Amino acid sequence: MPKTLTEKLTTLKAAKKGIFVPYIMAGDHAKGLDGLAETIHFLEDLGVSAIEVGVPFSDPVADGPVIEEAGLRSLAHGTSTQALVETLKTIETEVPLVIMTYFNPLFQYGVEKFVKDLSDTAVKGLIIPDLPHEHANFVEPFLANTDIALISLVSLTTGIERQKN
């Protein structure tokens, strides 16, 4: 398996293979977090390129109704950031995982601790949709010596100059 998410996606692009990265909400399973490994391995067997794993949050301002409902179901199952991290430590997969979390759960857990706890797992990317690009320097130093990339989001309305930064 390529060491980083960039290497994985670059390899697929060079081979002219499609890239498919499904999103799943951690804990939104009949078995709660106990079903996460099963879901990841199911998707791995289907040949996905990577898997985006959502961290449930009670105030998901950037999510639509489907992901918001998935997060609420996950929280109802008792999913916490701590429990998710502990679960991810036990999952062995060749598919890179990308964590999508709001900054609040990350801050509450501790950014440095979160990155350290996940640095030896299959997690290769981190998306924080409510972290302004100008504040990425709050997270980036903790990622510097890991294989975890901070992934910025852009939209159709994001200006070219901002995309370059």
pLDDT in the model for residue 1: 58
**Residues with a known catalytic role:** 52, 63
* Amino acid 53: pLDDT: 98
pLDDT reported for residue 3: 79
pTM recorded for the entire structure: 0.91
| The CATH number of domain 5-11+20-164, selected from 3.20.20.70, 3.30.530.20, 3.40.640.10, 2.60.120.700 | 3.20.20.70
pLDDT of residue 27: 95
Tell me which residues of the chain have a pLDDT lower than 50: none
- Range 95-120 burial, b when 16+ CB lie within 10 A, else e: bbbbbbbbbebbeebebeebbebbee
CA-based R_g, the chain, Å: 15
Strand blocks (E) in the chain: 23-25, 51-54, 97-100, 123-127, 149-151
Could you state, in order of their start, the residue ranges of all structural domains in the chain? Answer: 5-11+20-164
